[in-house]
Amino acid sequence: MIALLVLWAMVATLENVAMRATINHLIEVYSASSTSAAGESKTNNEQPAAAPVNQEPANATTGGGNETNTAAGGTTAEQSTPQEAAPAEQRPVLASMTRPCSGSITGQFGWAFSRTHQDWRYHPGVDITVPSGTTVLAAFAGTVEYAKVTPESGFAVIIDHGGGVRTVYSELGSVLVREGAQVAAGDPVGVVGDPGVDEAADGPHLHFELWVDGLVKDPAPYLGQ
């Protein structure tokens, strides 16, 4: 009987370890997926976190230092040549933003009623209504961090403009850029088409977000009309 109890305890322990390992793996997978899809989640109180969109690039600085080598007979020191710190990334001037497409802003930034879900939820961007097939342009020069399709937001593009500034373009019908590509302000990045399921009731439009230092910001003041 004692042997059976010991065996049962061992099996239970192994099952618990296996279950915890499985849960940890799922958490890692979910976290990686959430990071790469930053800017795509636009429901309830949660703000997307881009992936590529919430992690800000660190400003690398390189400094000199002393290297000490111990050898037989004593200690010698080599003085390395100090190097100048790398300059911080230049932040684009928000007021110089290129409007990603023409059209009227029909979906405001902040809390709004979702016609698709029939409830109130946080809208971390603006919706610009335009006909299907309209070309969408990059707001600033930068590097494409994300260019994929999701059921929730249709095709989406995230561009890192440096200095902690990122823009998100979603509810697209197709993308015209690849991840890692360099774009200039005004370059085509996608084409408006059928929106994803999160904003399906709103018809063809561009969902546009502006992120500064990891925080979402209303882009409307920089878009003009």
Q: What are the pLDDT digits (tens) for 3-60? A: 544 444 443 444 333 333 433 433 343 334 334 433 433 434 344 444 343 333 333 3
Domains of the chain, start order: 97-223 (2.70.70.10)
pTM for this prediction: 0.62
Structural contact between residues 106 and 145, judged by C-beta atoms closer than 8 angstroms: no
Quick one: what percent of the chain has pLDDT higher than 90?
49
- Is the predicted pLDDT of residue 96 greater than 70, yes or no? yes
pLDDT of residue 29: 32
CA angle (66 as vertex; 63, 72 as ends), nearest 5 = 155
Q: Which of the four pLDDT bands, split at 50, 70 and 90, describes residue 150?
A: confident
pLDDT at residue 114, as a whole number: 86
Q: Where are the alpha helices (DSSP H) in the chain?
A: 2-36, 220-223
Residue pointed to by tokens 């939820």: 121
Which of 149 and 34 is assigned the larger pLDDT? 149
Question: Which of 14-23, 101-110, 131-140 has the weakest average pLDDT?
Answer: 14-23
d(CA 83, CA 161): 26
Q: pLDDT per residue over 174-208, tens digit each?
A: 999 999 999 999 999 999 998 888 887 889 999 99
Q: Quick one: 117 exposed, middle or buried, by C-beta within 10 A (0-12, 13-18, 19+)?
A: middle
């600033």: which residue's tokens?
A: 140
